[in-house]
Amino acid sequence: MQPHPQTTERESVAQETIVAISTPPGRGGIGIVRLSGPHAVEIASRLVRLRAPMEHARARLAEVPDPDTGERLDEAMVTYFACPNSYTGEDLVEIAAHGSPVILEMLVRLALRSGARLARPGEFTERAFLAGRIDLTQAEAVRDLIEAQTLYQARIAAEQMGGALSRRVHPAKEKLVELIALLEAGIDFAEDDVEVTPDGEIVTRTDTISAELGALARSFEHGRMVHAGLRLAIVGRPNVGKSSLFNRLLERERAIVTASPGTTRDLVTERLSLGGIPLELVDTAGLRETSEEAETIGVRKSREVLAEADLVLVVVDGSVPLLDDELALIDSLVGRRALVAQNKCDLPPTNPVERPGKLDFADQSAENPAPAPPVSVRTSALTGEGVQQLRDALAEMIRNPAGESESGILTSLRHFEAVSAALAALDAAKAAVASKIPHEMVLLDLYAALRQLDSLTGETTADDILNRIFSTFCIGK
């Protein structure tokens, strides 16, 4: 991988040695102070007393002396990674002492006095990017891995860190570069009998590239869920068991449950992992007309959450006939990701709401174009019957679409916008070819598509975008 082009300002910054605590704030068994830059070894040698000289990729035992008395304060393991074979591509030293904030902060202060500068958030990873050790998608995956809340999120981030997205984009980018080269040759060497690329071949090649990028763009729906999670609104009339079912799904008593209708007046939220996807459950106030001020506000909030939620769970009392407003609510959710929990199935049901349909709320086929209505699951929040089936039904709704690759999916809005812009530029190129516009103008659109693909990995990314990306990292990474 070639080093990323650097501005004069970034080149001067790279000459500085930076320092930061790389472990989370607070006390712990181990705390790590990390230094990176041309003077990392020199500064680290002033902070500790080494038992043996530093050697690349080897840990050395050292003492951490008191700066005032010279007495030993702590013991540490010091690991040195020589330029360019380090995470940042520079000389990098990690001092692993006991996780006392006092000791770690002292080491940082002494490093600053010795000429180091406090690292900005994400600056170690930024230097790795600028040194060509990783591309921008891999750098962003570092942040995603740190922020992962589920093992599935961590797996996807680890794949991205390994370059899965870059590898998936690469074939389409290579085909685009090849097409650009063909058109450039036809223009530049026309007098040398180099054949001009036929319009049909341009369209065919463009369609091939668009098909690959289109499949990548479609992965964003699932990638967004993996990255940000989903919100599930639990709605229904008062006293149908919404809060009890909410507690059952969480497997702990989170919401207050009483026999009196209208107990829940405000939104109660909690997070869980379902199929590796973070899911925010929202228990809402019962939907009904009321003159009581607090409950009225709660109902209004419930309707707002219902409108904005990614998933909806309608809870009804399966032991009594459905009311018209419940039927209207269920019918209004056709086409959305929604389920009906026919609760209180431990009581004799008098009005089952089983309805046909699969857990796929897109158009099924040309023969059956209508979206499927919400399916019903019989549950009992009291006994737990049907709760696992409800979990399975929810997991089915958020599953990865059949056949969609798990490797190299789009999890970032920035990535999705870049791929979408590349697709738009390719469509513009096809339209130009159809309109018999000269190939010089077609090339403008093809180059625009190439710039968008380059922006994924950071080859043409502006400094302000880099600053915005790395500023979201934690300090010390």
Q: Per-residue pLDDT tens for 202-240?
A: 999 999 999 999 999 999 988 888 888 899 999 988 888
Q: Domain check: are 248 and 343 in the same one?
A: yes
Q: Output the pLDDT for position 354.
A: 47
Q: Domain check: are 294 and 392 in the same one?
A: yes
> Which CATH number is 119's domain given?
3.30.1360.120
Q: Output the pLDDT for position 314.
A: 92
Across the strands, what pairs with 204?
Answer: none
CA distances from 399 to 124, 315, 396 (A): 36, 22, 5
Residue 57 CA to residue 51 CA, distance in Å, equals: 16
Question: pLDDT tens digits, residue range 6-22?
Answer: 444 455 555 899 999 99
Residue 467 lies in a domain: no
Q: Domain check: are 306 and 207 in the same one?
A: no
Q: 271 in helix, strand or coil?
A: strand
**Domain boundary residue among 348, 363, 397?**
397
> Which CATH number is 279's domain given?
3.40.50.300
Question: pLDDT tens digits, residue range 240-287?
Answer: 888 889 888 888 776 555 555 555 556 788 888 888 888 999 988 878
Question: pLDDT tens digits, residue range 314-346?
Answer: 999 888 888 888 888 888 888 888 999 999 888
Per-residue pLDDT band at 363 (split at 50, 70, 90): very low
Residue 315 CA to residue 376 CA, distance in Å, equals: 10
**Domain boundary residue among 397, 415, 444?**
397
Q: Look at the block and give the residue holding tokens 């086409």.
A: 335
Q: Output the pLDDT for position 256.
A: 52
Residue 120 lies in a domain: yes
Q: Domain check: are 299 and 170 in the same one?
A: no
Q: Domain check: are 381 and 243 in the same one?
A: yes
Question: pLDDT tens digits, residue range 51-104?
Answer: 999 999 999 999 999 999 999 999 999 999 999 999 999 999 999 999 999 999
The answer to which of 78-82, 117-121, 400-404 has the lowest mean pLDDT is 400-404
Residue 296 lies in a domain: yes
Q: Domain check: are 243 and 117 in the same one?
A: no
Q: Domain check: are 215 and 235 in the same one?
A: no
> Which CATH number is 421's domain given?
1.20.120.430
Q: Which of 248, 218, 249, 201 is nearest to 430 (CA)?
A: 201
Question: pLDDT tens digits, residue range 141-181?
Answer: 999 998 888 888 899 999 999 999 999 999 999 999 999 98
N residues, the chain:
477
Residue 133 CA to residue 467 CA, distance in Å, equals: 18
Q: Is the distance from CB of 374 to CB of 355 less than 8 angstroms?
A: yes
More confident residue, 34 or 227: 34
Q: Output the pLDDT for position 372.
A: 64
Q: Output the pLDDT for position 427.
A: 96
36: CB partners within 8 A, 6+ apart:
17, 18, 86, 87, 88, 90, 91, 92, 93, 119, 124, 127
- Give me the domain span that covers residue 240: 229-397
More confident residue, 42 or 460: 42
Residue 131 lies in a domain: yes
Residue 187 lies in a domain: yes
Q: Domain check: are 345 and 438 in the same one?
A: no
Q: Domain check: are 236 and 202 in the same one?
A: no
Q: What percent of the chain has pLDDT over 90?
A: 49
Residue 2 lies in a domain: no
Residue 473 lies in a domain: no
Domain count, the chain: 3
Q: Domain check: are 415 and 289 in the same one?
A: no
- Res 5 pLDDT > 60: no
The pTM (predicted TM-score) of the whole model is 0.77
Per-residue pLDDT band at 2 (split at 50, 70, 90): very low
Per-residue pLDDT band at 301 (split at 50, 70, 90): confident
- Res 389 pLDDT > 50: yes
Q: What is the mean pLDDT of residues 283-310?
A: 80
More confident residue, 475 or 232: 232
Residue 3 lies in a domain: no
Question: pLDDT tens digits, residue range 423-456?
Answer: 999 999 999 999 999 988 999 999 999 999 999 8
Q: Domain check: are 262 and 374 in the same one?
A: yes
Q: How far is CA 192 from the centre of its chain?
A: 51
458: region left, alpha or beta (phi > 0 left; psi from -120 to 50 alpha): left
Residue 332 CA to residue 335 CA, distance in Å, equals: 8
Q: What is the mean pLDDT of residues 2-8?
A: 45
Q: Domain check: are 305 and 205 in the same one?
A: no
Q: Which of 53, 80, 47 is nearest to 65 (CA)?
A: 47
